[in-house]
Amino acid sequence: MDNDLHLVDTATLDITKSYPGIKSDYSEKFHLSNDGKYIYFSNSGYVRVWDLSSGKKATVLNEPNVQNIEDVSTPDMNTFITYNSD
């Protein structure tokens, strides 16, 4: 698996855009912001936010005292809620 992110047109199943992956950046739980401008996901002890228009990492939210973040949610892209199984 290439660890790249591919956006797909659901009508044609064509890949419309691809973003190269980073080996240390992986998740099975990507989330799309309500406005469609960002994707965000958890990975171990941090949350990554990617700007889809630029294809670049917008920010990394890191909480050193929290490990193994299982998932993340946000109502507004300003406040992020994380959870783990601890």
Contact 59, 51 (CB under 8 A): no
pLDDT tens readout for residues 10-63? 999 999 988 877 676 666 788 999 999 999 988 777 888 989 888 888 888 887
The whole model's pTM is what?
Answer: 0.75
| Contact assessment for residue 69 and residue 43, using Cβ atoms and an 8 Å cutoff | yes
